Structure 1
Amino acid sequence: MTDDDDGIESTTSRCLSYLPKLEDTYSLWYKRRYMIVQREEKSAGFYNMRECLEISILSMDRSILQSLIDEARQSYKEAERKVVSVFSADTGSKWKLMTSRPKRPLSSIILEPGIKELLINDARDFLSSRKWYADRGIPFRRGYLLYGPPGTGKTSMIQSIAGELGLNVYIVTLSRAGMDDSSLNELISNMPNQCIALMEDIDAAITGVARDLSEPVAAEPPFLAGGSSDEKAAIAKALHNEGKRNDSQSRLSLSGLLNALDGIGAQEGRILFATTNNYQVLDPALCRPGRMDLHVEFKLASRYQAESLYKCFYMPEGPDDAADEHVDEGYESKRDSIDSDEPDSEPQSPSVSEDMPLLLLSPSASQQVTEAPRPPPFKTLQPGQRKPALPNQFLSHREALTLATRFSEAIPEGEMSMASLQGYLMRYKSRPREAVADAIAWVKKERAAKKDQK
């Protein structure tokens, strides 16, 4: 049963399958009609099995069955609109649903100004220009190459774009075992008319891809010359085994990859995203317009990104409190009442009960208790949630902006990835002030770690 009667909308999704459990019979009522559903496998020749789905409805009106299928299809599509489905290929070159992830809003992606807008606007313009491409005889394809260091937000940006455009993601793994030119062409041709094809870390994936498989192979590598016969035999055997393993893993040629991207049999309507950490090693033939039309660099975090990320973590919800000086969070009123010796009308701290005789306390002890600031009542914590430290609670908008500026000043320009900054702030998710105070020490530690790796 397919859903090919919904026009353009159906091109973004694969065909639906309604599959109850095998060998079980389900009895239910649908619109006051008794219905039985059963799915089973039947023999269809030697070594072949055919699945059969039987739906029996006690009714004189055949439209009841069509109504059931339409209702199930609509429910599936409504649930699909809330997530991004990610597909990967199995060993038989068939697309299988790998996972479904919630759509990620563009506001959660923090990049330099203009990059998000450039990508999303260009992709939207492409999807709405099918007739423009057809009138001019241009293949209806668009390719994007996102390059930069790891952890700079390339994959996150692709996930967000997929959610904004309502497209599913199909991951093409070029280094998959058994991948060759024909299987790659089959995979790409089996994609829906509108989707995102993702080739991650394409620089690493095509390292072992041969540009011309017909090139002769040297009988003896130069570094074997001059060695003993035993050494030559051992090294030659190791190279032979390595070549066999690489051949079993991937037999994809660069010409096969290029033909799959923009050859005569290449799929149209899809958006290709390729990511790389090493832009310089890519073959110029792969990067030319028509295959990778737009190249966008993702750099290491700037101070602007560090400040924006801090705001994303700690900025209070709700409207901006322009008059922060009039907001009493509990500290100032307590300090004023203590310093002015005026009676405190609020309940006493649990450490000094009203029923406790004050004469039992020594003067020094009573002075210490009186001078200690009394914390405001904490909000109810969820099970397993750690109680935040007292000095880091109740951030106002003004203080959050100040701390964000101080945090960005502690982060060097273009040295840390956004992933590392996010990992650091995750350790201080309920301690915004400590995150700023410890930032300089963390930067020194990261620099030392990078120096040791070199």
Structure 2
Amino acid sequence: MALLESLQQQQQQPPTSSSSVESLPTAQTPEKQGLWSTVTSNPLFSAGFGLMGVGAGLTLLRKGSMLGASALRRRLLVTLEIPSKDKSYLWFLQWMSHQAPKRQVQHLAVETSYRQHDNGSVSTKFGLVPGPGTHFFKWRNIWMQVQRQRDGKMMDLSTGSPWETITITTLSRDRHVFKELLHEAQEMALKKQEGKTVLYTSYGPEWRPFGMPRKRRMLESVILDKGIKQRIVKDVKAFIGNGKWYNERGIPYRRGYLLYGPPGSGKSSFIQALAGQLEYNICILNLSERGLTDDRLNHLLSNVPERSIMLLEDIDAAFTKRSQSDNQGYQSMITFSGLLNALDGVASAEERIIFLTTNHVEKLDPALIRPGRIDMKEYLGNATDYQIKQMFLRFYEDESLADQFVEKLRGKDISTASLQGHFVYYKDKPKEAVDQADSLWNQL
């Protein structure tokens, strides 16, 4: 009790100067509490914290919805990307332009095909394909989103065109539709090429179609001297499909042919007709092309498209004698040894048919046309009596006039190309064609 009374007396004593300093914060606390209460009760302060709270809540809600949508997308959607370097890229564009109704394609791009015919006339066709952007269309009751994107900063160095990709999106349960539409796009592309020969040329390290596919030329339309056509066709057909026979005997499965003779004797025409007969395409390579190297030549010959004939035209223009071209060609950078290795070296391709043509076989190095590199050589010269008569009958079907025409040209060096031009000029006029036969050698 005494202790309690002592404490009460101390509390009742007036504060000293030092105690007043120590007790000053305690004496001002009510004022601070009033200030805090004033600030927190201010409607502007309350509104600011409210807005911050609402903003933070919306941010969290947005992030949550984005994460949820991303997770939902990964679980429910599936995408397929097709780069522009893939063969199916153009197939899909053509397929979509035919399958999707025009009202479902919001952005279109034009593809112009230009063709000059033998008679000099020109035909132009305009095709519309889906352009860059986002498209939605329905196929087999399945909705798909197609995005065609073009990267302006990346380019295909072989063609100079911008790098593009197509991304197809649909429900994960419908992923089987990807293979179905790609197969249908391929079949549509192949159907458009039925009865036609596709010419390929090199673009950088790869083969690209050159121009529009050409209608297959009938083998009967090329008239060579007796037995030549039959021998070559028989040999090529015997080679195709006999890979097992070659492998069992350790023989490289490739075949080389050399056609030589004067210009206009039908070398290129026969190769084109042979490709049509076999339902093959043709890959044309110019050995004098600027920038062509040994490595690129080897790569091109090792990656020829399936069911294609490899054609090296005017081989004498690129290489004449080994001493002149052992270091480099005229414009290209390929060496003679590089060409030989590409034809039958260790890294040379299998399952290959290659044709070489030349107007001057005497200029070719024997190493280039030795057996193993060139398996069959055929001379295609100026028109013989047999060829003259057969060509006349093919145009006019008049036996007696054909014999007269042969008599007028006997002993003359006339190319089959000149004969064809003569017959075309006198189309449906066989008598005039015979009467004007002397104009053929007067033009020489």
Tell me the TM-score range normalised by the shorter chain: 0.5 to 0.7
Shift of 1:62: 2.7
Alignment of 1:201-240 (within 5 A): 201-207=314-320, 213=326
Distance 1:444 1:201, change over 3 A: closer
1:86 Cα deviation (Å)?
0.7
CA displacement at 1:42 relative to structure 2 = 5.0
**1:122 matched residue in structure 2:** 235
Worse overlay, 273-282 or 27-36: 27-36
Would the alpha carbon gap of residues 267 and 307 (structure 1) be closer, same or farther in structure 2, given more than 3 Å must change? same
Cα deviations across residues 239-280 of structure 1 (Å, max 9, x unaligned)? xxxxxxx87822221111100000000011110100010111
The equivalent of 2:342 in structure 1 is 260
Answer whether contact 2:326 2:336 (CA < 8 A) is retained. no
Q: Does 2:433 align with 1:442?
A: no
Q: What does residue 25 of structure 1 align with?
A: 134
Q: Alpha carbons of 1:442 and 1:213: their partners in 2 closer, same or farther (altered >3 Å)?
A: closer
Note the C-alpha offset of 1:194. Answer: 4.1
Give the aligned partner of residue 405 of structure 1: 403
The match for 1:41 is: 150
User: In structure 1, which of residues 41, 46, 68 is the aligned counterpart of residue 181 of structure 2?
Assistant: 68
Match of 2:363 in 1: 281
**What is the aligned partner in structure 1 of residue 13 from structure 2?**
none
Question: What is the CA distance between 1:54 and its match in structure 2?
Answer: 1.6
Residue of structure 2 in register with 1:98 after alignment: 210
Q: In 2, Cα distance between the equivalents of 1:297 and 1:120?
A: 15
**What letter matches 1:403 in structure 2?**
L
Q: Which has the higher strand share?
A: 2
| Structure 1 contact 211–254 (Cα < 8 Å) conserved | no
Identity %: 39
> How far 1:123 moved relative to its partner?
0.6
2:395 is the counterpart of 1:417: no
Q: Of the candidates 200, 203, 210, which is equivalent to residue 87 of structure 1?
A: 200
Q: Measure how far apart 1:206 and its partner are.
A: 1.2
Which stretches in structure 2 are left out of the alignment for 5+ residues? Answer: 1-79, 94-129
Note if contact 1:188-1:260 (Cα within 8 Å) is conserved in structure 2: yes
Q: Is the 8 A contact 2:264 2:416 kept in 1?
A: yes
Whole-Å separation in 2 of the counterparts to 1:212 and 1:424: 40
- 1:355-394 superposed matches below 5 A: none
Q: Which has the higher helix share?
A: 2
Q: Aligned residue for 2:74?
A: none
Q: Contact 2:288/2:318 (CA < 8 Å) preserved in 1? A: yes
CA separation of 1:290/1:46 partners in 2, compared to 1, >3 Å: closer, same or farther?
A: closer
Q: Which has the larger Rg?
A: 2
How far is 1:445 from its partner?
1.2
The amino acid of 1:86's aligned partner reads L
Partner of 2:377: 295
Residues 27-36 or 416-425, more deviating: 27-36
2-structure distance, mates of 1:61, 1:142:
47
Unaligned 5+ runs, structure 1: 3-13, 215-245, 316-399
Question: Secondary structure of 2:418's match?
Answer: helix
AA aligned to 1:418 is T
Cα RMSD between the aligned structures?
2.8
Q: How does 1:51-200 map to 2 (within 5 A)?
A: 51-57=164-170, 60-90=173-203, 92-99=204-211, 100-200=213-313
Correspondence for 1:387: none
Distance 1:125 1:211, change over 3 A: farther
Contact 1:178-1:248 at 8 Å conserved across structures: no
Task: Judge conservation of contact 1:194–1:271 (CA < 8 Å) in 2.
Answer: no
Cα 1:209–1:24 change in 2 (3 A) is farther
CA offsets, 1:266-295, max 9 Å, x none? 011110100010111110001111111100
- In structure 2, the residue corresponding to 1:264 is in which secondary structure? coil
**2:55 corresponding residue in structure 1:** none
Write the distance in 2 (CA, Å) between the matches of 1:419 and 1:252: 33
3-state DSSP class of the match of 1:104?
Answer: coil
Kindly state the Cα deviation for residue 209 of structure 1 after the two structures are TM-superposed: 6.4
Partner secondary structure for residue 72 of structure 1: helix
Show the 5 A alignment for 1:322-337. Answer: none
Q: Secondary structure at the match of 1:204?
A: helix
Instruction: Letter of the 1:435 partner, please give it.
Output: A
**Does the CA-based 8 Å contact 1:142-1:293 persist in structure 2?**
yes
Number of residue equivalences: 319
1:170-190 deviations in whole A, cap 9, x for unaligned? Answer: 111110001221221122122
Aligned to 1:382: none
Name the SS of the counterpart of 2:311 in structure 1. Answer: strand
CA distance in 2, matches of 1:264, 1:432: 56
5 Å matches for 1:419-434? 419-434=417-432
Distance 1:274 1:311 in 2: 30
- Residue 309 of structure 1 deviates from its aligned partner by 0.9
Pairwise CA distance, 1:430: 2.4
The DSSP-based 3-state class of the residue aligned with 2:367 is: helix
Shift of 1:44: 9.7
| Distance change >3 Å, CA 110–CA 255, structure 1 → 2 | same
1:65 is paired with a residue of what secondary structure? helix
Q: Distance in 2 between matches of 1:430 and 1:86?
A: 32
Which whole-Å CA distance do the structure 1 matches of 2:306 and 2:189 have between them? 19
Single out whichever of 70-79 and 288-297 deviates more from structure 2. 70-79
Q: Is the 8 A contact 1:181 1:253 kept in 2?
A: yes
Distance 2:415 2:330 in 1: 36
Counterpart CA distance in 2 for 1:414 and 1:137 is 48
